[in-house]
């Protein structure tokens, strides 16, 4: 047998079919996987196909849309609307929710950021898609304005040197799949992903350009990382998918806190905070809001009050989130048990 050729391919489809008896969920994940392949192809050909640059529109949060943002969004919406298993969709790129026509509708509601890390698109730095899935109740937008605890499946796809999908079913393990371009399939490459038990590499990841806006405990925590006896490295891609993927694999802490400039932080609750929190927690890490609206809570328990609302995020292992909590304690803030 020639080396390098598998005679068995543990594909994403196989994993999903073996791990859920829900046929509609299987269709949903296959649909998402197809849109990730389309997006990966567009991202990979962006230079030669002249897909860099602005599309000339503004998105739900007022950011300039890139051509690739618009294409990725269309790819996901077309795939999900026609899957027959979705009712309500929320995209970062659409101010309003999308209601699937009754004849095509199904039992899921999906929120997504089709191409996160927009500022990195044009310089060929990693970007990604993030999604969260909820079950349909009434078929209204309220189906998505529920506690993160109701999220039944969440994941992200990183477009980088490889295209890699990481996802989890609620209450299940976190699994990783790499796109094998030679067969056009996602292949199961990381089984039962776990946050490094000892906290892993000492890495802090945040946009330190926001330092002057931060509350004192966050400033203190970052100073503590820098002056620790075992010093930390700073790593910040500025694409949440890349920064969280590294944090999950290597350890460390990712921080995008609430601050004086952005009292709710920057990242979007429904399609950035909640899905990443589910993954981090189910891999054994901690996904905290930091001090937010008077207390420190779990991102996974937030209930969005609007589809594009924001939430602060502090994600990492107990060793490093503990450093942040200690700094809060010094300022008299009650902190949860780790
Ligand atoms: P986007 O949805 O407009 O791309 O913004 C989200 C991104 C995240 O991927 C990243 O973690 C963060 O914004 C970076 O923000 P900043 O440029 O303020 O550091
Ligand atoms: Mg985005």
CATH number for 66: 3.30.540.10
Q: Is 32 a catalytic residue?
A: no
Q: pLDDT grade, residue 1 (50/70/90)?
A: low
Q: CA 178, CA 190: separation in Å to the nearest integer? A: 9
Tokens 């937030």 locate to 302
CA angle, 120 then 125 then 129, to 5°: 70
From the alpha carbon of 243, which atom of ligand 1 is closest? 11
Rounded mean pLDDT of 283-299? 97
| pLDDT for res 119 | 87
Rounded mean pLDDT of 192-203? 96
Ligand 2 centroid–CA 43 distance in Å is 14
Query: Would you say residue 235 lies in a domain?
Result: yes
Same domain, 21 and 102: yes
**Of the residues 139, 158, 190, which one is the last residue of a structural domain?**
190
Of 24, 63, 150, 180, which one is the catalytic site residue? Answer: 63
Q: Is 305 a catalytic residue?
A: no
Q: CA 337, CA 18: separation in Å to the nearest integer? A: 36
| pLDDT for res 48 | 79
Rounded mean pLDDT of 264-281? 98
- The residue to mutate among 65, 238, 308, having the most atoms of ligand 1 within 8 angstroms of its beta carbon, is 238
Q: pLDDT grade, residue 244 (50/70/90)?
A: very high
In total, how many domains does the chain have?
A: 2
Asked whether residue 31 carries a pLDDT value surpassing 90, the answer given is: yes
Q: pLDDT grade, residue 2 (50/70/90)?
A: low
Q: CA 50, CA 66: separation in Å to the nearest integer? A: 12
From the alpha carbon of 119, which atom of ligand 1 is closest? 4
Same domain, 152 and 223: no
Q: Which of 203, 224, 220 is nearest to 211 (CA)?
A: 220
Asked whether residue 181 carries a pLDDT value surpassing 70, the answer given is: yes
- Among 4-18, 98-112, 155-169, the least confident range: 4-18
| pLDDT for res 256 | 98
* Average pLDDT value over all residues in the chain: 95
Print the domain residue range for 249: 203-330
Ligand nearest to the CA of 262: 1
Ligand 2 centroid–CA 10 distance in Å is 31
Q: Is 64 a catalytic residue?
A: no
Same domain, 218 and 146: no
Same domain, 214 and 184: no
Contact criterion met (CB below 8 Å) for 26 and 16 = yes
Ligand 1 centroid–CA 239 distance in Å is 6
Same domain, 216 and 115: no
User: Mind listing the pLDDT tens digit for each residue in 35-78?
Assistant: 999 999 999 988 777 777 777 777 777 777 788 999 999 999 99
**Of the residues 133, 156, 190, which one is the last residue of a structural domain?**
190
Q: Give the range with max mean pLDDT: 46-50, 63-67, 118-122, 216-220.
A: 216-220
Judge if pTM exceeds 0.85: yes
Of 115, 144, 291, 302, which one is the catalytic site residue? Answer: 115
The protein residues having their C-beta less than 5 angstroms from ligand 2 (an ion) are 92, 113, 116
**Of the residues 137, 160, 190, which one is the last residue of a structural domain?**
190
Q: CA 181, CA 163: separation in Å to the nearest integer? A: 9
Asked whether residue 271 carries a pLDDT value surpassing 90, the answer given is: yes
| pLDDT for res 51 | 78
Same domain, 184 and 219: no
Query: Would you say residue 5 lies in a domain?
Result: no
């Amino acid at each position: 047998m020639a080396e390098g050729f598998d005679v068995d391919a543990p594909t994403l489809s196989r994993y999903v079919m073996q791990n859920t008896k829900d046929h509609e969920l299987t269709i949903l994940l296959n649909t998402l996987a197809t849109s990730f392949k389309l997006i990966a192809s567009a991202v990979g050909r962006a230079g030669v196909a002249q897909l860099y640059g602005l599309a000339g529109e503004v998105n739900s949060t007022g950011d300039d849309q890139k051509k690739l943002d618009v294409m990725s969004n269309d790819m996901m919406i077309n795939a999900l609307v026609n899957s027959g298993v979705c009712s309500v969709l929320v995209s970062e790129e659409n101010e309003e929710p999308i209601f699937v026509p009754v004849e095509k509708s199904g039992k899921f509601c999906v929120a997504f950021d089709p191409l996160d890390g927009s500022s990195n698109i044009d310089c060929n730095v990693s970007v990604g898609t993030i999604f969260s899935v909820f079950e349909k109740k009434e078929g209204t937008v309220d189906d998505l304005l529920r506690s993160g605890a109701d999220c039944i499946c969440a994941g992200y796809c990183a477009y980088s040197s490889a295209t890699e999908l990481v996802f989890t079913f609620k209450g299940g393990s976190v699994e990783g799949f790499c796109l094998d371009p030679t067969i056009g399939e996602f292949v199961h490459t990381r089984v039962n992903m776990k946050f490094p038990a000892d906290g892993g590499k000492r890495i802090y990841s945040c946009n330190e350009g926001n330092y002057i806006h931060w509350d004192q405990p966050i400033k203190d925590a970052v100073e503590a990382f820098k002056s620790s006896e075992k010093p930390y490295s700073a790593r910040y891609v500025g694409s949440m998918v890349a920064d969280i993927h590294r944090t999950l694999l290597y350890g460390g802490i990712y921080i995008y806190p609430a601050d004086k400039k952005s009292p709710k932080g920057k990242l979007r609750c429904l399609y950035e905070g909640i899905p990443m929190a589910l993954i981090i927690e189910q891999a054994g890490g901690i996904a905290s809001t930091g001090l937010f609206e008077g207390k420190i809570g779990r991102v996974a328990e937030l209930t969005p009050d609007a589809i594009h609302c924001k939430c602060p995020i502090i994600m990492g292992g107990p060793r490093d989130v503990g450093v942040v909590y200690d700094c809060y304690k010094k300022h008299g803030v009650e902190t949860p048990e780790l």
